[in-house]
Amino acid sequence: MKIYNTMSKQKEEFVTIEPGKVRMYVCGPTVYNLIHIGNARPMIFFDTVRRYFEYRGLEVNYVSNFTDVDDKIIKAANEEGVDSSVISERYIEECKKDMASLNIKPATTHPKATLEIDGMIDMISTLVEKGYAYRAEDGTVYYRTRKFKDYGKLSHKDIDELRSGERDLLVTGEDQKEDPLDFVLWKPKKEGEPYWESPWCQGRPGWHIECSVMSRKYLGDRMDIHGGGEDLIFPHHENEIAQSEAATGEEPFARYWMHNAFLNIDSHKMSKSAGNFFTVRDILKKYDPQVLRFFMLSAHYRNPLNFSAELMQNAENGYNRIVNCGEDLDFKLEKAGESPLTGDEEKLLGEAGAFRDDFIRVMDDDLNTADAISAVFELVRFINSNMPEGASKAYLSGLKKLLTELTDVLGLIIFKDREGLSDAGIDSLIEERQQARKEKNFKRADEIRDQLKEMGIVLEDTRDGVRWKRAK
């Protein structure tokens, strides 16, 4: 298996620190509002990475945090007149609901920054003792960026060309820093803000130190994979490396750095000011959550992904194509006899196994979910062409097992309870039936009609087309 490493800018053979086990940390959301679809891309992708590792027999310790102390959380709390913990806990729960709807498995551990403050104070103290950090007059603690000789090795930036104005975590003026590039580890409290006692002042941690401490606590001084969106490469992940490697003396902090590309909206950057900002909830009012997951996996994670109504429609069509294949399999399985597997059927199942090989090959090549979906489509085409009348239950079960196996790795729910069949899925089946009738394929049209009937869907032919309703 090969993974593209942001650090080396090339694909590398994936070798874990501990044989058979993967330690993976992915930066989670700052919980001040509902998650947006930009948040959803890394959540869905790295959930799929985790699923694939487990599919290949690896034990995965997957850690993804919640940043529950932040300026935006405090601002939202002050606007509502509540404690900041009220805001963070509310949106942690809402985030978990969205993750569940997108079939994102809970992480092995979901640490919260506010519960790890003692560890942050300990690491900052170590950095001060080692000369990598210093206290300013007002109690702010800064990291001496230039003291870390390899600063910039992840983002491939030259430290002498960096400007402090590119930083977004400055809390005080430049005059109290030894160097404009030094960044904050601990900052003094402001009126109305939550704070903790520390050796330097009453205050709270900087953002970067949070992930260094949480990843170390739950994964150790070194990990196999650190992931997140490409916007985190600099300064967040760069600063994590500087803090962690200086504090522990261990390097590399992470063996592989994986970053997903941006999500754009109609070829424009998503922003509230542009009026193109969408939460996951906004999108799920119109689309099945599985369609959004399918869409997110339909492009290679290192390629920018453009969100548009047209592309979402394509994703819905693609997803329903797989679902319809699954529904056909279930329908035929119910009618199939218990006859033994024939020689021809055994041969066909052997041929179907080639699609598993294709799936594994492309996923082994830098987790290429786009090509993995193509492999699933090829399997669907094969299944649709090789479900003859009178097929044995053993044969159809073998096809279903293979389709389920591959779609489970992608986190796509294909086989739903009949009551859970989406409206879009029903519409797609009806559309397929209409097309079959136009082509005078009345046998297929009757099969779909019977299939829908079995699912409790009643069809009505009217002058305006086919209408349907669920039987009571």
Q: For 281-323, what is each residue's pLDDT tens digit?
A: 999 999 999 999 999 999 999 999 999 999 999 999 999 999 9
Peptide bond into 180 cis (omega under 30): no
- Per DSSP, what are the bridge partners of residue 465? 462
**What residues in the chain have per-residue pLDDT under 50?**
164-172, 418-419, 472
Q: How many CB atoms lie within 10 A of CB 471?
A: 8
Q: What is the pLDDT of residues 405-423, one digit of tens each?
A: 999 999 999 987 544 556 6
Q: Which two tokens stand for residue 33?
A: 């509002």
Q: Which residue has the tokens 């399999």?
A: 329
Q: Return the ∠ at Cα 21 (arms to 53 and 156), rounded to 5°.
A: 80
Full-model pTM: 0.87
What integer pLDDT is reported at residue 415 of this predicted model? 84
Q: How many CB atoms lie within 10 A of CB 463?
A: 4
N-terminal to C-terminal alpha carbon distance within the chain = 51
Instruction: From residue 302, give the alpha-carbon distance in Å to each of 29, 82, 470.
Output: 20, 40, 42
Residue 380 makes CB contacts below 8 A (sequence gap 6+) with: 321, 322, 325, 403
3-state secondary structure of 228: strand
What integer pLDDT is reported at residue 429 of this predicted model? 78
Q: Which domains does the chain have, with CATH numbers?
A: 2-260 (3.40.50.620), 309-470 (1.20.120.640)
* Alpha-helix residue ranges (DSSP H) falling in 298-438: 309-335, 343-364, 369-385, 393-409, 423-438
Cβ atoms of 143 and 82 within 8 Å: the answer is no
Q: Which of 411, 416, 421, 417 is nearest to 293 (CA)?
A: 411
What integer pLDDT is reported at residue 463 of this predicted model? 67
- E strand map for 133-222: 133-135, 141-143, 183-188, 203-205
Q: Which of 325, 276, 323, 316 is nearest to 298 (CA)?
A: 316
Which of 133-138's residues contact partners 24+ apart within 8 Å by CB, and which partners? 133/185, 134/178, 135/200, 136/172, 136/176, 136/177, 137/176, 138/172, 138/176, 138/188, 138/201
Distance of CA 143 to the CA centre of its chain: 31
Distance of CA 185 to the CA centre of its chain: 28
Cβ atoms of 194 and 204 within 8 Å: the answer is yes
Cβ atoms of 355 and 406 within 8 Å: the answer is yes
What integer pLDDT is reported at residue 464 of this predicted model? 64
CA-CA-CA-CA torsion sign (37, 38, 39, 41): positive
Q: For residue 267, which phi and psi values (nearest 5 degrees)? A: 70, 15
What integer pLDDT is reported at residue 471 of this predicted model? 61
- E strand map for 150-241: 183-188, 203-205, 223-229
Give me the percent of the chain exceeding a pLDDT of 70.
Answer: 94
Q: Which two tokens stand for residue 65?
A: 């945090």
What integer pLDDT is reported at residue 165 of this predicted model? 43
Cβ atoms of 429 and 445 within 8 Å: the answer is no
